[in-house]
Amino acid sequence: MPPPATPGGTYVRTVRVGDILYVAGTGPMADVNGCRGKVGQDVTVEEAREAARSVAIKVIGTLKDTLGDLDRVKQVVKTLGMVNAVPDFTDHVRVINGYSDLLVEVFGEEKGKGVRSAVGMGSLPGNLSVEVESVFWVE
């Protein structure tokens, strides 16, 4: 797992409130094709999907660093997936499935699925193609 990224602004990577862990918006790994650019113009759906998958790897690394043990994750509660897309783009769900599918692979069908939104944005910081924030129920 990659180490958690250093926040690029005035915020922290995670905040725990009781048994709920909030993970800040996370962008894709810099070495992934399609990590930067507008989906539907500079980045294909498949590249953006892989970028979203790399976000999941980074978030899992953040969970491991924060909790010490991934077995402490009881449930994915909420995912907000943001896609930097052209105005007429409509395949946001398929892009963010890259993130969600990896969480299901790691945590299983029951624990790895939560509620989710996949939305389009006019831009994202640093021209990222995707950014995801998540909420987890933890021990």
**Domains contained in the chain, number:** 1
Q: What is the per-residue pLDDT across 66-75, written as a single tens digit (0 to 9) for each?
A: 999 999 999 9
User: Within a domain: residue 4?
Assistant: no
pLDDT of residue 4: 83
Instruction: Judge whether 39 and 86 are in contact, CB under 8 Å.
Output: yes
pLDDT of residue 97: 98
Residue 80 maps to which CATH number? 3.30.1330.40
Beta bridge partner(s), residue 22:
15, 135
Q: How many residues does the chain have?
A: 139
User: Within a domain: residue 78?
Assistant: yes
Average the pLDDT over 50-62 and give the result. 97
User: Within a domain: residue 130?
Assistant: no
Q: Any residues with CB less than 8 A from the CB of 69 and at least 6 apart, and which?
A: none
pLDDT at 6 exceeding the cut of 90 = no
Distance, C-alpha 71 to centroid of its chain: 19
pLDDT at 14 exceeding the cut of 80 = yes
Q: What is the per-residue pLDDT across 79-122, written as a single tens digit (0 to 9) for each?
A: 999 999 999 999 999 999 999 999 999 999 999 999 999 999 99
Residue whose tokens read 């862990």: 21
User: Shortest CA distance to 39 belongs to which of 131, 133, 137?
Assistant: 131
User: Within a domain: residue 120?
Assistant: yes
User: Within a domain: residue 92?
Assistant: yes
Burial of 27 (0-12, 13-18, 19+ CB in 10 A): buried
Token pair of 102 as six digits: 């990896």
User: Within a domain: residue 9?
Assistant: no
User: Within a domain: residue 76?
Assistant: yes
Average the pLDDT over 11-19 and give the result. 97
* Confidence band of 2 (pLDDT split at 50, 70, 90): confident
**Containing structural domain, residue 50:** 14-124
User: Within a domain: residue 35?
Assistant: yes
